[in-house]
A and B are shown apart, each in its own frame.
Chain A
């Protein structure tokens, strides 16, 4: 990972910085709350937290326009919040309640919002990659001028279907941005032990897909790269790869023994590279905001998150007849 200092970026305004701060903080606080509700037994099954990776979706969503689509894996809470889905509906899906986005029938890994063009939430590693290219295929077919952000991890990047998709996406010039969220660990297996080449984006070259590595702990770099990729896709030049080097602070899922990396490694990343802290320091040192203003944002976020948790606890379980609905259209 490069150690570029975020403060070198100059062309950002206060409004943008504040919205990055707010959006990233919402994801972090939401995920911490989800972890807490999991601990209380209110969330079941698998729950994959996004803490540490917030800058990736927040930066890229800043590059998206109305009507653009997004699809991702099972580590999906951050993507949903970043594209404007209601935290209450997301949290209530985590608790398996009627008020959740999938009426409690999808859970953490399988959530969708037609309204926000969020196409899941997919539990099978890599499966969302051809699906994402298919969304882009539809936009091209319908001549919509929209792009699709297709997120997957460094683990999924070793799946065969990813390369089948690269081939067709390039061949057919599909407007899809392949976003590789490289958090360096495929579950508990380090990238060094699972992936033959350190820079996954270079694999696009074999398919004539341009790509680049991006510092994923710096939301401004992510946004800049997102703008470039979107411009490329919208111009009809076909797919683009962004390999965003990021880091997940928490375990793969809630039941992760954390034996595969040292606490020092995690701690070092948190202390030196945390995306939220970085933006906070830019805001303060650049006099974009005062401590008090940031504090009031913190409180606002806390309120939103607490309300989502209250809603998720209070929302009833789905009606029993929901067992047999939505199997066929």
Chain B
């Protein structure tokens, strides 16, 4: 019985090569792993090993031959008299093909996510005033009470009570096993939390700010976001990365960046950016229950702001559903997170000038509620977007493209994106104000697309 030895491909792009040197001659006995020849490609010279044992009975291509096509025979290997075909029948039946390892995890999955819909919030609903900070804390405490696999880790989350006091009281209630102070090593603890989520825990990772999460972004993107896909659905990262995002006040370029569009870019991540306290609470509870990695973008300036929060037990806000803060007929203003304050202030001023704006709060950027945007634009025929992030590859850019592709005929004017300026954040108070998007800019953009 003989086997043809074929010219190997030694790189993904190799089609032919040179047989530089034979290291065996006809009649030589070889075992698996012995080096047979040196093959030269355009990039390098590589050794080529025997895979089977046997005797080189014939060399078909002589040393120095160029342009040998991949997979063409270069030598003949004869086996040493053993009749291999007889042996190959032994014990085949034990092998089980892996095929579809149909996700045993799905049994553990709760149906909660599918069941989420925002409770009706009517005039009769009792509400209390709460800050965004308190709403976030309540959301975490409620979810930690509900599920023991939920824990919080990050810098200063425990004894210090949170760098921005978001985790106030959690250490006292849940103890140091579940509220864990980390060293200042984002890359490491983001990876540890991601690993813990692979093993079935549901970590909440607090970044003191998302500016520091750049140290950890490899773990977020390459490990947390992609593992479900790369494992064919066997395991993923049910976890939340949360913390303040974007500019605070007077903290300069390295502490003031809005990362919304960075994370929105990644399939496998979900991204939430709440504006109000009720959404902060309801979305964070959704995020903790989600079986995917969620980037939860808060804002330092909003932490202390008070909003009505409904007195509804287990108040949950689903992902992918925009909130219409104000109905209007003349123009659609789409925003999220702190951008909403400019959008709402502008809408009020515009109303005084006779322009009725419809204001949409996306609340989540992955998934995006395209349907509500298109419905609104189909009615108003005009649209602007508002965000604090940099202008290039912004969320507004993406929405503009989407609306153009899907509702072009409804548009009576080009969409304008109101964004932060294309500069690192300056420290000086007057320059910082100039760098951020302003209510005046939103008003002026709205008037421009209304041709007023």
Of residues 221 through 265 on chain A, the ones whose CB sits less than 8 Å from some CB of chain B are: 249-251, 254-259, 263
Q: Is A86 an interface residue (CB 8 A)?
A: yes
Residues in B with CB closer than 8 Å to A327 are 228-229, 267-268
CA distance A306 to B33 in the complex (A): 16
Give the shortest distance, in Å, between B175 (CB) and chain A (any CB).
12
**Which residues on the B side are within 8 Å of A132 (C-beta)?**
195
Tell me whether A313 is interfacial, beta carbon within 8 Å.
no
Chain B hits for A104, CB < 8 A: 232
Determine how close the nearest CB of chain A comes to the CB of B150; give it in whole angstroms: 11
Say whether A35 faces chain B, with CB atoms less than 8 Å apart: yes
Is B229's CB under 8 angstroms from A105's CB?
A: yes
Contacts of B70 in A (CB 8 A): 39, 41
- Shortest B372–chain A CB gap in Å is 20
Contact with B along A16-57 (1 / 0, CB 8 A): 000000000000110011011011110011000001000000
Residues of A within 8 A of B11 (CB): 254-255
- State the CA gap A92–B99 with chains docked (Å): 9
Residue ID in chain A nearest B71 by CB atoms: A40
Residue of B8, B109, B234 with most chain A CB atoms under a 10 A cut-off: B234
Number of A-B contacts (CB under 8 A): 248
Inter-chain contact A32/B195, CB cutoff 8 Å? no
Chain B proximity of A35: nearest CB distance (Å): 7
B123 in the interface (beta carbon within 8 A): no
Structural contact, B196 and A39, CB atoms closer than 8 A: no
Q: For A89, list chain B residues within 8 Å (CB).
A: 97-98
Q: Is the CB of B44 within 8 A of A101?
A: no
Contact with A along B209-247 (1 / 0, CB 8 A): 000000000110011000111111111101000000000
Q: Within 8 Å of chain A (Cβ to Cβ): is B192? A: yes
Whether A134 contacts B198 by the Cβ 8 Å rule is yes
B187 touches A130 (CB 8 A): yes
Residue of A nearest to B177 (CB): A141
B35, closest chain A residue (CB): A263
Knowing A32-B51, A114-B235, A119-B235 are in contact, say whether A127-B191 is a contact too (CB < 8 A).
yes
**Looking across the interface, which residue of chain B has its beta carbon closest to that of A326?**
B233
Whether, in the assembled complex, B407 has its beta carbon less than 8 Å from a beta carbon of chain A, the answer is no
**The residue from A44, A100, A141, A165 contacting B188, defined by CB atoms under 8 A apart:** A165
Is the CB–CB distance between A112 and B95 below 8 Å? Answer: no
Complex Cα spacing A130 to B10, Å = 33
Contact stretch, chosen from B84-92, B334-342, B392-400: B84-92
Among A36, A102, A167, the residue within 8 A (CB) of B230 is: A102
Q: Which range holds the interface residue count of chain B? A: 35 or more
Do A131 and B223 contact each other (CB < 8 Å), given the known contacts A106-B231, A168-B189?
Answer: yes
B228 and A29: CB pair below 8 A? no
Q: Is the CB of A135 within 8 A of B232?
A: no
**What's the Cα separation between A300 and B95 when bound, in Å?**
13
CB contact between A130 and one of B6, B219, B270, B291 (< 8 Å): that residue: B219
A14 lies within 8 A of chain B by Cβ: no
- Docked-complex contact A135 and B196, CB < 8 angstroms: yes
B227 and A120 form a contact (CB under 8 A): yes
Shortest Cβ gap from A129 to chain B (Å): 7
Given contacts A40-B71, A257-B45, whether A99 and B99 have CB atoms under 8 Å apart is yes
Q: Map CB proximity to A onto B175-215 as digits: 1 under 8 Å, 0 otherwise.
A: 00100001101011111111111111100000000000000
> How far does the Cβ of B153 sit from chain A's closest Cβ, in whole Å?
9
Residues from chain B with Cβ under 8 Å of A129 in the complex:
191
Chain B interface helix/strand/loop/mixed? loop
The answer to whether B183 and A164 touch across the interface, beta carbons within 8 angstroms, is: yes
Contact A329-B96, Cβ < 8 Å, known A134-B199, A137-B195, A168-B182: no
Contact of A35 with B51 in the complex, beta carbons under 8 Å: yes
Q: How far is the CA of A32 from the CA of B43 in the complex (A)?
A: 22
- Do the beta carbons of B195 and A29 come within 8 Å of each other? no
Judging by beta carbons under 8 Å apart, are A141 and B192 in contact? no
- Complex Cα distance, B41 from A133, in Å, reads 42
- Cβ of A205 under 8 Å from chain B: no
Q: Are A329 and B236 in contact (CB under 8 A)?
A: yes
CA distance A119 to B47 in the complex (A): 33
- Stretch of B100-108, B375-383, B423-431 with 4 or more beta carbons under 8 angstroms from chain A: B100-108
Contact of A164 among B100, B185, B222, B292 (CB under 8 A): B185
- Given the interface pairs A257-B43, A328-B228, the reply to whether A302 lies near B9 with Cβ below 8 Å is no
* CB closest chain-A residue, reference B366: A328
Q: How far is the CB of A248 from chain B (nearest CB, A)?
A: 13
* B228 touching A255, Cβ below 8 Å: no
Tell me the smallest distance from the CB of B238 to a CB of chain A, in Å.
7
Contact with A along B271-300 (1 / 0, CB 8 A): 000000000000000000001100000000
CB-nearest residue of chain A relative to B99? A99
Name the residue of chain B whose CB is nearest to the CB of A113.
B234
Complex Cα distance A300/B188, Å?
44
Partner of B235, one of A92, A112, A161, A302: A112
CB–CB A134/B192 < 8 A? yes
- B228: chain A residues within 8 A (beta carbon): 326-329
Q: Are B238 and A329 in contact (CB under 8 A)?
A: yes
Centre residue among A33, A105, A131, A306 by max chain B CB count within 10 A: A131
Whether A39 contacts B232 by the Cβ 8 Å rule is no
Report 28 cross-chain contacts, Cβ distance below 8 Å, ordered by A residue: A38-B9, A39-B9, A39-B70, A40-B9, A44-B12, A98-B99, A102-B232, A103-B100, A106-B232, A111-B231, A112-B231, A119-B235, A120-B227, A130-B187, A138-B201, A142-B201, A164-B183, A168-B183, A255-B11, A256-B44, A256-B46, A257-B46, A270-B33, A300-B91, A311-B97, A326-B233, A327-B268, A329-B233
Query: A101-B234, A120-B230, A120-B231 provided; 10 other pairs, C-beta below 8 A?
Result: A39-B9, A134-B198, A137-B201, A142-B201, A165-B192, A168-B183, A256-B46, A303-B92, A304-B95, A325-B233
